[in-house]
Structure 1
Amino acid sequence: MTVLLTVVFSTAGLALVNAATTNADPANEETVWIEIAIFVFVYFLPAYVAYKRNTSNKDGIFLLNLLFGWSVIGWFVALVMACGSAGHKRERSPLISEPLFRVFGRGPTRKMH
């Protein structure tokens, strides 16, 4: 986390110094902060998707994104993992699964009267 904050604040500091030396326009400084906010959001987009989808490995995706997101490959791997299966399992529909179980002789069956 310290590394990320260092990178973000050093980038912000360099951008602000550049903006201050080239043009002292306050609107330019606001633009720099907006760009930094957009960069941070896009950088952590895989972690955001994982937490919104409630994936079972959302903490691992966050750590992968935090530590290896700076490489394009690490960011895409985290995004693919975040877009993968959600944390909860879907239940099978009893209308579909029960007749199939009866056909193949496995699983729950109801006695026909």
Structure 2
Amino acid sequence: MLLLLSTAATKTDGSLFFKIILFIYFIPSMIALIRIPLIKFRFITVLLINLFFGWSVYGWWIAFYKAVSSSKE
């Protein structure tokens, strides 16, 4: 992800802004992938919530909460 951001630094067509927004949008999914590597069902759940409901602020916060909550829930 950082490689994509660094290679687009010379472009002025707005693609850097789009990549930054996309990065922020999928932060809960990246946290879930890093934090819970053994529980793939939890990652898939966070990814689907983030993908379909992340456009609303409420859906993004639900995905973020599920990503950082303890794995015993």
What TM-score comes out, normalization by structure 1 length? Answer: 0.49
The answer to which structure, 1 or 2, has the higher relative contact order (CA under 8 A, 6+ apart) is 2
- Write the mapping of 1:32-71 to structure 2, written as runs, cut at 5 A: 32-54=14-36, 56=39, 57-71=42-56
- Write the mapping of 1:95-106 to structure 2, written as runs, cut at 5 A: none
Q: Distance in 2 between matches of 1:61 and 1:52?
A: 12
Superposition deviation, residue 27 in structure 1 = 4.9
**What does residue 28 of structure 1 align with?**
12
Q: Distance in 2 between matches of 1:50 and 1:83?
A: 7
Superposition deviation, residue 54 in structure 1 = 1.5
Q: 1:27 to 1:58 in 2, by over 3 A?
A: closer
Q: Does 1:83 align with 2:68?
A: yes
What TM-score comes out, normalization by structure 2 length? Answer: 0.73
Q: 1:72 to 1:28 in 2, by over 3 A?
A: same
Count of residues in Structure 1 that have an aligned counterpart in Structure 2: 60
**Runs of 4+ in structure 1 over 3 Å off:** none
